[in-house]
Structure 1
Amino acid sequence: MPVESRPLRRDAQRNRELLLAAAREVFGAKGLEAPLDEIARRAGVAIGTLYNRFPTRAELIDATFAEPVGRWVTIGEEALAEPDPWDGIVQYVVRSCELHSIDRGLTQVCTESYPDAPGIEAAKLRSWDVLVRLVARAKDAGVLRADAEPSDLPMAVVAASRIAELESDPDRWRRHIRYVLDGLRADKRRATRR
């Protein structure tokens, strides 16, 4: 029986959870190149325990970020459920920015390819499908510029997350994202009420 299909012992499960929580903190603050020994230290386990549970950095990244990347799918689906297509676009962008502005690792995972992280890549494909539908709906309703592309929205989110990283005021991105949304709106009325 493969190791993954056997239930973990209680102590092994606890170590796994500690490692994943530490990885979220360290990767979130320092990015995906953060030292693995720092993650093990923060989890209170030996580096060997980390490698025993996650033999490669890619496996640790996949286990750490597959669920958070999946939140993007939920954000997109909730935005699609908004009765007003423009409000859906705004909701998608603002909620995505809120996630990315506080998590450097999540931004990296969403903007780079991780072929050795199948959970992340599957979540990104589902997220993209929802985003394409969200953009098409807004364009069909005439509220999003005709030349807007689905990739414009994640790029705006990434730019806003970079602003949050560089500014002393972590919410400064909100001002900048209003400018971006104003530029994406087809009828040029004030883009957001947020």
Structure 2
Amino acid sequence: MAGCHVRTLTDAPVHFAKVRDMADQLPHALRSDALDNRDRILDAARRLFSTEGLKVPMREIARGAGVGPATLYRRFPTKQALVAAVFADQVRECRAIVEEGCSDPDPWHGFCLLIEKTCEMHARDRGFTEAFLTAYPGATEIAEERAFAMKAVGELAQRAMESGRLRPDFVLDDILLMLMGNCGIRVASPAAQVAAARRFAAYVIQAFEARPQQAPLSAPVRLTSPAAMG
């Protein structure tokens, strides 16, 4: 009949080729979506851990990432797994700081460098400080890093003490005390937070020194308004 198209076998390869193309593209699209979801989850968790600490609920993290709870748990079955992924960069940075301080030929200079950089790093992320101080259950990478750092700092402190620069009554728990104090700094912006941590570190170094040289402090940081002080 005129105008009537009769489907032939030659149509099938074209149709099947299109289906194959779509099937080949689908896994890539799914992988791309999964990676986007993972990045959004990590960004949201990093932001919330930094401002609110590790007690923030998983549902709030999912909401902040714009994904459903099921998607969050599919990527990170436990909160411990999420914590480990979020702080992977900080764990590496922490180790680098410790290794740099310990490799300094002048143990007191290396000890001071470690104090300064540690305070600054922890000032940028409240969540990592909390995980480091409490040895967050199940986050084995952070627990291992804490054990490595404390052992290495203890050895560095012993050398600094033998050089006569570190006060003889220093104990390793003073480092944890320092981190607790540094964690209590609360200011309006990340830049001010780091600046305040640097000034705090300068005070700490003078307190740790056997014969304080009264080195100049970094610039002061406005923490409260004059009205609040009054």
Q: Shorter-chain TM-score: which interval?
A: 0.7 to 0.9
1:24 aligns with 2:46: yes
Post-superposition shift, 1:14? 3.2
Match of 2:87 in 1: 65
Change (3 A) 1:118 1:47: same
Aligned residues: CA RMSD: 2.4
Match of 1:179 in 2: 203
- Larger Cα Rg: Structure 1 or Structure 2? 2
In structure 1, how many angstroms separate the alpha carbons of the residues matched to 2:94 and 2:123? 14
Match of 1:5 in 2: none
Change (3 A) 1:192 1:126: farther
Post-superposition shift, 1:190? 2.7
1:96 aligns with 2:118: yes
Q: Structure 1-normalised TM-score?
A: 0.83
Post-superposition shift, 1:104? 1.1
The count of aligned residue pairs is 186
Post-superposition shift, 1:167? 7.3
In structure 2, how many angstroms separate the alpha carbons of the residues matched to 1:19 and 1:29? 16
Query: Given that residues 73 and 123 in structure 1 are in contact (C-alpha distance below 8 angstroms), is that contact kept between their aligned partners in structure 2?
Result: yes
In structure 2, how many angstroms separate the alpha carbons of the residues matched to 1:96 and 1:40? 30
Change (3 A) 1:23 1:152: same
In structure 2, how many angstroms separate the alpha carbons of the residues matched to 1:151 and 1:74? 21
Query: Given that residues 97 and 114 in structure 2 are in contact (C-alpha distance below 8 angstroms), is that contact kept between their aligned partners in structure 1?
Result: yes
Q: Structure 2-normalised TM-score?
A: 0.71
In structure 1, how many angstroms separate the alpha carbons of the residues matched to 2:210 and 2:216? 13
Which blocks of at least 5 consecutive residues in structure 2 are unaligned?
A: 1-29, 219-230
- Higher mean Cα deviation, 139-148 or 169-178? 169-178
Change (3 A) 1:64 1:42: same
Post-superposition shift, 1:149? 1.6
Alpha-carbon displacement from aligned partner over 1:128-167 (angstroms, at most 9, x marks no partner): 222122212211211101111222123213312312x267
Aligned pairs (5 A) from 1:1-194:
9-163=31-185, 165=186, 169-170=192-193, 171-190=195-214
Which blocks of at least 5 consecutive residues in structure 1 are unaligned?
A: 1-7
Structure with the larger RCO, 1 or 2 (CA within 8 Å, 6+ apart): 1
Identity of aligned residues (%): 37
Post-superposition shift, 1:112? 0.5
The letter for the 2-side match of 1:58 is: Q
The letter for the 2-side match of 1:63 is: A
